[in-house]
Amino acid sequence: MSLDPKQVKHIATLARIKVPDSDLAGLVNELNGIMTWIEQLNEVKVDGVEPMAGVLSRDLPERKDVVSDGGDPEKVLKNAPDRAHGFFVVPKVVE
Amino acid sequence: MAELNHNTIAGALDGLAKKQFSARELAGAHVMQMAKHRDLNAYVTETPEKALAMAEASDARRAKGEAGLMEGIPLGIKDLFCTEGVLTTAGSHILDGFKPTYESTVTANLWKAGAVMLGKLNMDEFAMGSSNGTSYHGPVTNPWRRRGENTRLVPGGSSGGSAAAVAARMALAATGTDTGGSIRQPAAFTGIVGLKPTYGRCSRWGIVAFASSLDQAGPMCRSVEDAAIMLTAMAGHDPKDSTSVDIAVPDFRKAVEGGVKGLKVGIPKEYRLDGLAPEIAKLWEQGAAWLKEQGAEIKEISLPHTKYALPVYYIIAPAEASSNLARYDGVRFGLRVPGESLDDMYERTRAEGFGKEVKRRIMIGTYVLSAGYYDAYYVRAQRIRALILKDFTDAFKDVDVVLTPSTPSAAFGLEEKFDDPVAMYLNDVFTVTVNLAGLPGISVPAGVDGRGLPLGLQLIGRAFDEETVLKAGRAIERAASFTLAPEGF
């Protein structure tokens, strides 16, 4: 199967990346080139094989449920493109 | 004090201990070399004042008898490592102006061991690339040239700035990171040693994340012994990274001269690709012969799922990247492009801030994780990843270490076009299996091709057995006695 322009536009929206219509055709071709190459994975028998999320075959360690960091808003906000009154500022989201 | 920058870490530590030169003089020699070869574009940010101040502090510590493992050694740091108060861009426009308020664990470990920071090194954007050509800061030039030619060559990637800087004597050594070959491939292209440790050996905390189940930091140096010294300083358990393994860090330097007598070396038959360059095949055979001459036993092995490793990687790595890179939204750091709404601001910021390759991978990752495709692509890839790991687990029942070429070719031209992304992905054909299986791997310079360009051989070991990898790497280094440096550096 291959991706069509409508699907690619949808993927771009899910990924929050604006794609101008003029770039769409090229992107469809590139993504289809990669996905076609990936299709070879369909020839591998995977029945009964457990999916592997990572190489560590152990439970992740838990730490004590205590505050170990924080309380420094100045550090957190230091690189913010826009800030006010100790908060990050974003475009208005509530009418 | 000429040529101080032509030293190894081991040699420089010796010279510093014997007071033949100071850490300040050593740092100064590197700062001069950096200024002289700026045209390579290896550094994104130079920090000469910091380097000299850190070197002076190092000299003071040494005078008090408090020398650490890397005392006074000047290093370049890949721009993927967060460095407190020093610009960290990951090679991307979207991290414009980002000065972390914290230090990555690996760099903190190096500074604690006495190392000195020279600056931040260029790289493929978010470590996605094999030529350093995707960097927002422009490509890096390999200090090596083809014999009798002036064609500019790539240093490989993604740790291309690190590789070029170490090869050009603009850093005594450098940090790199390796997700699919990003330490070993550029090391091979520039005639240096690059070591990717076992997954979990070095903390990933404070390293800009690309694919969290694959990323690992490692040393890029001019000798196997140097890689051993630097890895000892970088490694160690870190409670801030839940995947960092709580296991003792050996003094890797002690393993280096251990020899390969009786060692069983596997040659995976599936790595003999159709159309493998005769020069690469010949070097590989030579490598096996070298190890045999030093007492190792050579055995053919099979890693049957090898051919699926790259397509598996190009599902898993983009999937993890699409999630990790969701944080670049114009709100907390870096670039913001104004928009009419919050979503519009996100979309414009990410469209302008990410380069083409990064956008491609985010979109592939978003697609393979999306409803209706998750099982067919992502889960299937995770199952085949388990088969790739099993290939190695089975092989390591019969052998102690695996020998392969590092790359399918020598460095290629900066202007050689790769219109097809898949053609570029094939650079990592010999290295990517190691990341999927979480194993340690080293690339050691072993010879030159017909046009005088360096070629590397790779050794792969069992998980947490970097010592055998270093021993075998040293055996190749000893036999190859690769002492060439790029001309004019």
Rounded CA separation B57/B73 (Å):
12
Q: Are A91 and B341 within 8 A, CB to CB? A: yes
Q: Are strands B297-301 and B264-268 parallel, antiparallel or unpaired?
A: parallel
Rounded CA separation B365/B344 (Å):
21
Rounded CA separation B23/B72 (Å):
5
Q: Are B391 and B306 in contact (CB under 8 A)?
A: yes
Q: Catalytic: which of B22, B130, B135, B182? A: B182
Q: Mind giving me the DSSP string for B354-418? A: S-HHHHHHHHHHHHHHSTTTIIIIIIHHHHHHHHHHHHHHHHTTT-SEEEEES-SSS--BTT---
- Judged against a pLDDT cut of 80, whether residue A1 lies above it is answered with no
Q: What is the mean pLDDT of residues A58-70?
A: 86
Q: Catalytic: which of B22, B58, B78, B471? A: B78
- Reported as type and span, the H/E element at residue B226 is helix B224-234
Q: Residue B314 is nearest to which of A18, A34, A52, comparing CB atoms?
A: A34
Question: Would you give the distance in Å from CA B366 to the centre of its chain?
Answer: 26
Half-sphere exposure in the Cβ direction for A26 (13 Å, CA): 12
Q: Mind giving me the DSSP string for B116-135? A: EEEEEE--SGGG--SSSTT-
Q: Mind giving me the DSSP string for B39-58? A: GG--EEEE-HHHHHHHHHHH
Q: Mind giving me the DSSP string for chain A? A: ----HHHHHHHHHHTT----HHHHHHHHHHHHHHHHHHGGGGGS--TTPPP-S-S--SPPP---SS--S---HHHHHTT-SSEETTEE--S----
Q: How far is A68 from chain B (nearest CA, A)?
A: 11
Looking at residue B16, its amino acid is L
Q: Are strands B43-46 and B116-121 parallel, antiparallel or unpaired?
A: antiparallel
Q: Residue A40 is nearest to which of B311, B367, B377, comparing CB atoms?
A: B311
Give yes or no: B213 in active site: no
Half-sphere exposure in the Cβ direction for B191 (13 Å, CA): 21
Q: Residue B336 is nearest to which of A35, A52, A81, comparing CB atoms?
A: A81
Residue pairs spanning A and B at CB distance below 8 A: 155
∠ CA B173-B174-B179, nearest 5°, is 135
pLDDT at residue A94, rounded to an integer: 83
Rounded CA separation B2/B10 (Å):
18
Rounded CA separation B56/B174 (Å):
20
Partners of residue B153 on adjacent β-strands? B413
pLDDT at residue B291, rounded to an integer: 98
Question: Would you give the distance in Å from CA B228 to the centre of its chain?
Answer: 14
In 3D, which of B161, B182, B200, B171 has the Cα closest to residue B78? B161
> Which of A27-36, A61-70, B6-15, B309-318 has the lowest average pLDDT?
A61-70
In 3D, which of B75, B152, B154 has the Cα closest to residue B115? B75
Rounded CA separation B236/B250 (Å):
10
Rounded CA separation B298/B311 (Å):
30
Give yes or no: B78 in active site: yes
Q: Which residue of B has its CA nearest to A29?
A: B420
The predicted model scores a pTM of 0.97
- Look up residue A50 and give its two tokens: 């457990």
pLDDT at residue B417, rounded to an integer: 65
Residues of B in contact with A53 (CB under 8 A): 213, 382
- Look up residue B209 and give its two tokens: 């994340």
pLDDT by residue for chain B (489 residues), tens only, comes to 448 999 999 999 999 999 999 999 999 999 999 999 999 999 999 999 999 999 999 999 999 999 999 999 999 999 999 999 999 999 999 999 999 999 999 999 999 999 999 999 999 999 999 999 999 999 999 999 999 999 999 999 999 999 999 999 999 999 999 999 999 999 999 999 999 999 999 999 999 999 999 999 999 999 999 999 999 999 999 999 999 999 999 999 999 999 999 999 999 999 998 888 999 999 999 999 999 999 999 999 999 999 999 999 999 999 999 999 999 999 999 999 999 999 999 999 999 999 999 999 999 999 999 999 999 999 999 999 999 999 999 999 999 999 999 999 999 999 886 677 888 888 899 999 999 999 999 999 999 999 999 999 999 999 999 999 999 999 999 999 998 889 999
Q: Helix B309-324 vs helix B380-395: angle between axes, to the nearest 10 degrees? A: 120
In 3D, which of B47, B99, B100 has the Cα closest to residue B74? B47
- Other C-beta atoms lying within 10 Å of the C-beta of residue B149: 11
Partners of residue B444 on adjacent β-strands? B457
